[in-house]
Structure 1
Amino acid sequence: MTKINSKSSLNIVVLSVGLLNHVMIIPLVLEVAGRDAWLFAALTGLLSIAWGFLLYWILKKKKTEHLFSWLENRLGKRFTKLIFFFLVIYLITIILTTAKDMVDWINTTSLNQTPPFAIIIPFALICAALSYSNLRSIAINSAILLPFVIILGIFVATGNIPEKNYDFLIPLFEQGYFHGIKSMYYIANGYLELFIIILFQHHLSNGDSIKLKTVIGMMVIVTILILGPLTGAIVEFGPVLSNEMRYPAYEQWRLLTIGKYIAHTDFFSIYQWLSGAFIRISIAMFLIPDLLRVKSPLIKKGILMSLAIMMVIITIIPFSNIIFYDFLKNYYFQGTFFFLVTLILLFTVTAVIQPKRKEVSDETIQK
């Protein structure tokens, strides 16, 4: 059986959640909380420690049993199918929102005259090909891509130090406390999405012995991923200008120069962005047939090609980036927040319930 260890899974999680925090959440948090965004991001990071302990406890209870078997053995088959229906819908929304946001960004910043389908078709096929293989292939790709993503992140953060004015971080609470608290809905999505490790725990060679420091380490990494670029946007552009930016993380690259003669370094952001989108979409595509325990290669190909076609359709539908942004702000992230909280509560209850039959490790891992 093709398995990976928890350290390899960390690469997948960091790239997937990193794109969510760096790209999709930051503009929403800045618009809602303004200058206070950095403080409430730090507070959310502190609160995430409790979620880290809960996630660790659930992982220890579930061990390496397939999620469907684990839920069915305690909640019944019908209720488990209902949970899986909504879980698959959630994974599909991850695929579609990531694809739409990526193509909109490319059209806005780099390829203004390029038709969206020319961008998304090859990208969707590559993601489908990777997700068709196995989790180890996704982990290997993540391990190759992540070091350069980290190096580039450190490069842009340190390179822009001369442009940073930390006086922009204060005064706080000029608009009261409500907006900052509301922004925690969006920030929390990045932490709650770490539940994804539960979905592929049966693929981990040490799935029944994951260490607490690994889980808490993931929480710390997610905090850095949201707090770093969020604070950077405020101190580099100020609270007013950063609120008006659609892609604050990208604008930080446009600000960076190397010496006197190299002024355009924003092309590095393309590598970071596409790396995160590639892994985020691939792991979501992989998990759908895996959770449904699809064994037929033909059916699996059909599912993945259907998802790829959905990616193409969502990106060529003629609705503006402004409408998409409003959808993310007013509906999607608030909805996913309550969905993930509900799902995690169900997992917590499931971990408490005694199984109806003897637990067995999953032996249906696809090769």
Structure 2
Amino acid sequence: MRNPTGSIGFLQAVMMIMLSVGITTHVTIIPLLLSKAGRDAWISVLLVAIPFIGWLWLLFLICRRMNRQSLSDWLEATVGHVGSRLLLFPFMLLLYLMAFVNLTDTQTWTTVNYLPNTPEIVTGLVLVLLSVAAAYAGIHSIAIASGLLLPFVVLFGFLVGFGNMPKKDYHLLLPLFQNGMTPVINGMLYAAGGFLEIVLILFLQHHLRTETKFMYLLVLGGIIIILTLSPLTGAIAEFGPVEATRQRYPSYEQWRLLTMGRYIENLEFLSIYQWLSGAFVRLSLCLFLVTELLQISKPKQRLGVLSFLGASMLALMSLPFSDMQFLTFLSRWYFPMSAIIVLVLTMVLAIVALVAGKQQKGRHHES
């Protein structure tokens, strides 16, 4: 059914998506982009931005056809129960993997940088428990938390970006295409994998108090592009393309260069706030959306499913795989698979929306 009131504003949705998608585009895909495209990685981002705008228009058309119904209800009404389940399962799998990848990457970064002697299961368990609690509390609680966390995340981002300006040499972004177009094309896949996570708005639009407008999606898309370009170009300009490619977390390393005057340095602890804010919102939002797509409404059942999802991610995270194997998984499987899933499913949903729209017009004319 249509939800004319909603529970959150579009700005709150933007804040959630900025924190959730931003941690991927700002952190996770940067080392992959640099390893595949090197100095030309920022060109890969710009080239992806062009078709990305067209995809945003497609996403807007789907949202408009859904008429602010939930994705589950809309698909049930248009393609039936079986068709709905077939289309929703890949989305649920993607949401689960988004949460798992984020949890694993956060845990690796935590262990390497500031809690090397703390058992991984302990820090992972704390984050999962907080995220399960927020997901159980509902979308309104996640939105409020995002509104409280995001302003400081943005403030600290401006601090490290502008504070390191004297150490940046943007001439290092040139020359272009030293190794041809192949590295640039390879890098485009990973940029697309991050950008397409804006599909989250599709799962949130029935919670909004206002209709989704194309201009809103354009602004959100522009923010995500900037969240990718800023740390990427900053890493190349500060460390050079060779050294930046060798780093596991180039965005974090930029904090190590930041000083304020002669006596204030070692400000990288502020990046802990940035990262954990994004990780918390991303995990909470993904867990909440999985239970919503499963159409679980009873509180005890929701808590049980959320607990199971959190426990399963902790179990998978505890498996004996190295960080290099994890990066290989991201490079060869996760980002290519996520990009393909989102592209194919949005095309299918667009076709469903067009067919459903024509059927509604036909019934209207007959009546």
User: 2 CA distance for matches of 1:301 and 1:358?
Assistant: 38
2:225 corresponds in structure 1 to: 223
Segment of structure 1 superposing worse, 88-97 or 48-57:
48-57
TM-score, length-scaled by structure 2: 0.94
1:298 equivalenced with 2:304 (yes/no): no
Counterpart of 2:270 in structure 1: which amino acid?
Answer: F
Segment of structure 1 superposing worse, 286-295 or 41-50:
41-50
Question: For residues 159-207 of structure 1, what are the alpha-carbon distances to aligned partners after superposition, in whole Å with 9 as ceiling and x for unaligned?
Answer: 111110111011111111011011111101222111111112111122x
CA-CA distance at 1:148 after TM superposition = 0.4
User: What secondary structure does 2:106 align onto?
Assistant: helix
Correspondent of 1:43 among 29, 34, 47 = 47
TM-score, length-scaled by structure 1: 0.94
Question: For residues 296-352 of structure 1, what are the alpha-carbon distances to aligned partners after superposition, in whole Å with 9 as ceiling and x for unaligned?
Answer: 111101111011112321222221111111110111111111111111111111110
The RMSD of aligned alpha carbons is 1.6
CA-CA distance at 1:73 after TM superposition = 2.1
1:327 corresponds in structure 2 to: 329
**Unaligned regions of 5+ residues in structure 2, if any?**
362-367
Correspondent of 2:264 among 256, 262, 265 = 262
1:128 equivalenced with 2:114 (yes/no): no
1:249 corresponds in structure 2 to: 251
User: 2 CA distance for matches of 1:3 and 1:263?
Assistant: 42
Moved over 6 A (4+): 355-359
1:349 corresponds in structure 2 to: 351
Number of matched pairs: 357
1:186 equivalenced with 2:187 (yes/no): no
2:113 corresponds in structure 1 to: 109
1:337 equivalenced with 2:339 (yes/no): yes
Evaluate the alpha carbon distance shift between residue 351 and residue 114 of structure 1 in structure 2; reply closer, same or farther with a 3 A threshold.
Answer: same
Correspondent of 1:274 among 264, 272, 276 = 276
User: What secondary structure does 2:329 align onto?
Assistant: helix
User: What secondary structure does 1:200 align onto?
Assistant: helix
Evaluate the alpha carbon distance shift between residue 294 and residue 357 of structure 1 in structure 2; reply closer, same or farther with a 3 A threshold.
Answer: farther
User: 1 CA distance for matches of 2:283 and 2:46?
Assistant: 28
Identity among equivalent positions (%) equals 38
Question: For residues 98-136 of structure 1, what are the alpha-carbon distances to aligned partners after superposition, in whole Å with 9 as ceiling and x for unaligned?
Answer: 100000000011111111011011111110000001111
Contact 1:130 1:282 (C-alpha < 8 Å) held by counterparts: yes
Contact 1:2 1:136 (C-alpha < 8 Å) held by counterparts: no
CA-CA distance at 1:2 after TM superposition = 6.0
Correspondent of 1:160 among 161, 164, 179 = 164
Contact 2:30 2:232 (C-alpha < 8 Å) held by counterparts: yes
User: 1 CA distance for matches of 2:169 and 2:51?
Assistant: 28
Evaluate the alpha carbon distance shift between residue 356 and residue 214 of structure 1 in structure 2; reply closer, same or farther with a 3 A threshold.
Answer: closer
1:76 corresponds in structure 2 to: 80
Question: For residues 201-229 of structure 1, what are the alpha-carbon distances to aligned partners after superposition, in whole Å with 9 as ceiling and x for unaligned?
Answer: 111122xx222221100111011000000
